[in-house]
Structure 1
Amino acid sequence: MRLAFSTLGVPGMPVDEVLRLAADSGFHGVELRAHPEEPVHPGLDRAARQRVAAQFAEAGLTPLGVAGYPRMADSGEDAPVLEEVRALLELAHDLGAPYARVFPGGGPDVAEGDANAVRRLRQAAVIAADLGVRVLLETHDSHATGADAARVLSAVDHPGAGALWDVMHTWRGCEDPEETYRLLAPYLGYVQVKDIASREDPAPLAPGEGVLPLTEVADVLTRATDAQADAGVEWLCWEYEKRWFPEVRELPALLPGARDHLLGLLAEAA
């Protein structure tokens, strides 16, 4: 399994610095936060996109995905959401990233949220497939568990749409990692991990310092049954969130330990 980390928590860090840290720490790829405050976002022109793709190629690293903010289950018109998704998917294509992340969003009306997400993801999946990428619905907010995401994706029923398993949210939803994997295996793009102190305190800790079931996650990812092997999970991505939790230690100091801990869990599980 290959390891990536996310730039979600380091707003404005130049791409060359991100790639240097990744290479020096032994990571294989980077998940890019595609927000206007970041150096990589859908507003980049073609020349800028080509430069970023060339930087990744020169560093020998993979742009795992672009993490955007379209909210697929929200109320409102479809057109603005799909326009945002298309821009995100085109950015992923231009960078050579296999995935683009979207959020569920959504509100208290589960049926409405499901219907909105299914309708929009069906259209987004076609766009994604035409571009040679996949749109991934993260287990988050209104659809925080594997059961929630699988319910939507089974109705979408298109290979261009899949799931991004954020372990913190499924665990906080009281879902066991083995059950989450069973539900999401047909749809999984990649898995995102962090660590936290408790269900009530989501402030991130270094992997291994908190209570998230990372050992169990590593176990299910390395012993898939024959029926689940087609899920083809290749990437484990560590999410760093200093952007929202300024007390978190600086990224350079945490990267080597995060890599070593995750690799140790995978090796032990294997």
Structure 2
Amino acid sequence: MRLAFSTLGLPALPIDQVVRLAAENGYHGVELRASDEEPVHPGLDADERARVVEQFASAGITILTVAAYARVAARGEDGPVLAEVEAAVDLAADLGASYVRVFPGGGDLPVAEADALAERRLAAVAPHATDRGVRVLLETHDSHRSGADVARVLGAVGHHAVGAIWDVMHTWLAGEQPSSTYPALAPYLGYVQVKDIASAEERTPLALGKGALPLAETIEVLSRAEWDGWLCWEYEKRWNPQAEEFPGLLEAGREHLARLLSESA
């Protein structure tokens, strides 16, 4: 398995510093948070996109994902949601990224209604994603927290260009064990987001291995299934200012994941 980290845990650093952090700490790839305050976002022109590609390529670091914030199960008209996802797909394609991350965002909608919105919108963007060589991945999150929730939507969509991100915190909060999540998501799985927290009530991000999340069990399940994808560390410092600074944790986090991978081999 290959290791990446998300820029969610970092301040809006220039791209050269992000690349340097990845290279110096032994990561193979980066998930780029794409929003207007970040150095990478859908408003970049062609020259700016090319410069980002060159900076990552020169260090041999993969741009894994454009982490967008579209909510495909949210109330409202389809048009703005589809436009947001398609813009992220175009950005990902231009950067050479394999994936675009989207959220469910169904809120308090009835399950069937939220599912129907997500299914319709994901099916609508699938042809464009296929044309651009990108997969749109629905993250286990908020209204669709478990692997079973996301698999229910993706099974109805039935298109290879639409898949899943397994966020281990949210499936754990849903009461789902890794041994149940993986079979549910396996047909759709793009990659796995790892993180750690103290408890369901205390979700300030911690260094990997310092909290309660079932990271060892997750990696064991993946290894037993001979899954050979990406593990991406998402550290939600941005919304938890009291958390430790992420750059200082990167090396130890990579070593922890490498140890778990070795023990599960």
TM bucket by the smaller chain? over 0.9
Contact 1:165 1:191 in 2 (8 A): yes
Identify the residue that residue 102 of structure 2 maps to in structure 1.
Answer: 102
CA distance in 2, matches of 1:251, 1:60: 22
Identify the residue that residue 34 of structure 2 maps to in structure 1.
Answer: 34
**1:178: Cα distance to partner?**
1.0
CA distance in 2, matches of 1:20, 1:5: 13
Identify the residue that residue 61 of structure 1 maps to in structure 2.
Answer: 61
Identify the residue that residue 255 of structure 2 maps to in structure 1.
Answer: 260
Identify the residue that residue 24 of structure 1 maps to in structure 2.
Answer: 24
1:95 alignment partner AA? L
CA distance in 1, matches of 2:116, 2:11: 34
Identify the residue that residue 121 of structure 2 maps to in structure 1.
Answer: 120
1:181-240 deviations in whole A, cap 9, x for unaligned? 01000000000010000011111100000000000011011110xxxx6xx541000012
1:32-67 deviations in whole A, cap 9, x for unaligned? 000111000111111100000111100100000010
Equivalent residues in 2 for 1:70-219, closer than 5 Å:
70-108=70-108, 109-219=110-220
Contact 2:10 2:247 in 1 (8 A): no
Q: What are structure 1's unaligned runs of at least 5 residues?
A: none
The percent identity for this pair of structures is 64
**1:107: Cα distance to partner?**
2.2
**1:10: Cα distance to partner?**
1.6
CA distance in 1, matches of 2:228, 2:74: 28
**1:9: Cα distance to partner?**
2.1
Number of matched pairs: 264
**1:11: Cα distance to partner?**
3.1
**1:157: Cα distance to partner?**
0.1
CA distance in 1, matches of 2:206, 2:102: 24
TM, length-normalised to structure 1 = 0.96
Give the 3-state SS of the residue equivalent to 2:8 in structure 1.
coil
Match of 1:238 among 203, 215, 233: 233
Q: Segments of 4+ in structure 1 off by > 4 A?
A: none
Give the 3-state SS of the residue equivalent to 1:65 in structure 2.
strand
> Please, what is the CA RMSD of the aligned residues?
0.9
